[in-house]
Amino acid sequence: MEITVSGRRIEITDMIREYAENKVKKLPRYFDRIGAIEVIVDRRDNHSYDVEIIVKAEHVDPFVGSCVGNDVYACVDDVVEKLERRLTDHKGRLRDRKRKRDDRFVEDRITLKNSPYFESTKTMRLSDCVIDKAIVPQLASTQRDKVITELIDALVDAGALTKSLRDELIKMIVNREKEGSTGFGKGVAVPHAKHMKIKKMVAAIGVSQQGLDFNALDKAPVYSVVLLLSPKDKPDEHLQVMENIFVNLQNDTFRRFLRQATDLDAVTGLLQEADAQQLQG
């Protein structure tokens, strides 16, 4: 973590620098994604101090706190206390959001298994929705939003998605990721969206050799991405395919071979094996 202490109209003494650094070093206890902290001390004309602390963290706007007073050390203490509360509140909101997302996932699985539609669709295969021409064994992009764009473009180029929906779907999926990551851990992510103008469920698969920052729940890089688009008026079918995807991605062998795949034949062969095992099971 990088810490900088700078001054405006004031010389930062070693004592001020050391005091500020020691105080802000405690902030990662309250939120562990902090990458840099900047402390700015401004000496005002009336000889008071304006202390501003900027905390920069991953995937969130900077946290900023300030205080004006006659004692620079007291101002540092005041701002750090404010930021401790804000970071704690933010972490709590993230925890609540994750809990709600996990609860929704469990509810979706229960709803699916209790649905009369489930019996008629439980043999739906991955190959029924994954578009071969939208399989990208070596993703060119290294950033989450660009990977989503690359996979949407692959579906458009394959003729599986109308180009007029491209920008809207990219925005929908990216916004959904900002609300809560579909990187469920173990190196996989399943970004998805439902839209009224989509008539048939389609999926694209992307594999990254170097790994992607998807803000996954386990904070690990993502190597395999399955992007799913579903008709909005077919929620049961969407849930069933999501269940099928999760079951396979939870399988260590499937996940390992998908990550190691470097060409189209390797991915399609893996999907065929998974479908065959599903039908046998």
Q: Give strand pairing partners of 68.
A: 50
φ, ψ of residue 211 to 5 degrees: the values are 95, 150
Does residue 192 carry a catalytic annotation? Answer: yes
Query: What is the C-alpha R_g of the chain?
Result: 24
CB contact at 8 A, 26 and 50: no
Residue tagged active-site, from 47, 192, 195, 238 = 192
Contacts for 148 with CB less than 8 Å, ≥ 6 apart: 170, 173, 174, 177, 191, 227
Measured CA to CA, the distance from residue 222 to residue 229 in angstroms comes to 20
**Count of beta carbons in the 10 Å neighbourhood of residue 156:** 18
Measured CA to CA, the distance from residue 205 to residue 208 in angstroms comes to 10
User: What is the greatest pairwise CA distance in the chain?
Assistant: 81
Measured CA to CA, the distance from residue 189 to residue 258 in angstroms comes to 13
Q: Which two tokens stand for residue 257?
A: 């071979």
CB contact at 8 A, 2 and 37: yes
Instruction: Residue 183: name the closest of 222, 209, 137 by CA.
Output: 222
Q: Enumerate the active-site residues.
A: 192
